[in-house]
Chain A
Amino acid sequence: GENVEQHPSTLSVQEGDSAVIKCTYSDSASNYFPWYKQELGKRPQLIIDIRSNVGEKKDQRIAVTLNKTAKHFSLHITETQPEDSAVYFCAASKRDNNDMRFGAGTRLTVKP
């Protein structure tokens, strides 16, 4: 089955700096890659997703890049703010398969 690896497990940045979180996946058939943000004690919430027919997607301060050849995808947050502090999970799934696998999570701390 699919195996998603996520790095780093913790990341601390100064407010205004950029943060990058990386994930790799094992199943070359995977073609949908969402990113979720989870604040302490709350539900995971989708922040951005990318499908395999594109290499990059951007939404304001958040961007995701996908390298299908290398089987890795990354989340980029620019101009970080303290409210970006949370745990971020990447995930992967494939067409006609509802088994979505998550990475282990990255705890991002943005210091004011």
Chain B
Amino acid sequence: EPEVTQTPSHQVTQMGQEVILRCVPISNHLYFYWYRQILGQKVEFLVSFYNNEISEKSEIFDDQFSVERPDGSNFTLKIRSTKLEDSAMYFCASNQQGDQETQYFGPGTRLLVL
């Protein structure tokens, strides 16, 4: 069964550095998402992406965040200048039809900002 994959599984970075988190959605999916989960807390929506543009974003997704689909398979989340509070698990998800359909989550990237 196809799965969403994410790399790296863990990343440690210094405050102020840029990080890029990578995701490979399921191949026939058209909608892509990023979520964040701070340790022990709820899953928080960051952004959704369809047809090469952002379709929705939350209040968390400020100017330091950006997303890109640089080729036909990868979907990336860039954090330009990391802050301590960006430490969290970042999940990518995808689905075929967007709203009202199951979203399939990747295994996550655990980001630690020191």
Binding site for B on A (CB under 8 A): 1, 31-32, 34, 36, 38, 42-46, 49, 51, 89, 91, 93-105
B interface residue count range (under 10 / 10 to 19 / 20 to 34 / 35 or more): 20 to 34
B49 nearest CB neighbor, chain A only: A98
CB within 8 Å: A-B pair count: 63
Which are the 6 A-B pairs with shortest beta-carbon distances?
A: A98-B48, A32-B100, A43-B105, A99-B56, A102-B43, A104-B42
With A98-B31, A98-B33, A104-B41 already in contact, the answer to whether A46 and B99 are too (CB < 8 A) is no
Contacts of A102 in B (CB 8 A): 42-45
CA distance A93 to B102 in the complex (A): 11
With A42-B107, A43-B107 already in contact, the answer to whether A95 and B43 are too (CB < 8 A) is no
Binding site for A on B (CB under 8 A): 31, 33, 41-45, 48, 50, 55-59, 91, 98-108
Contacts of B104 in A (CB 8 A): 46
CA distance A91 to B44 in the complex (A): 10
Contacts of B59 in A (CB 8 A): 1
Contacts of B50 in A (CB 8 A): 98
Contacts of B44 in A (CB 8 A): 102
Contacts of A1 in B (CB 8 A): 58-59
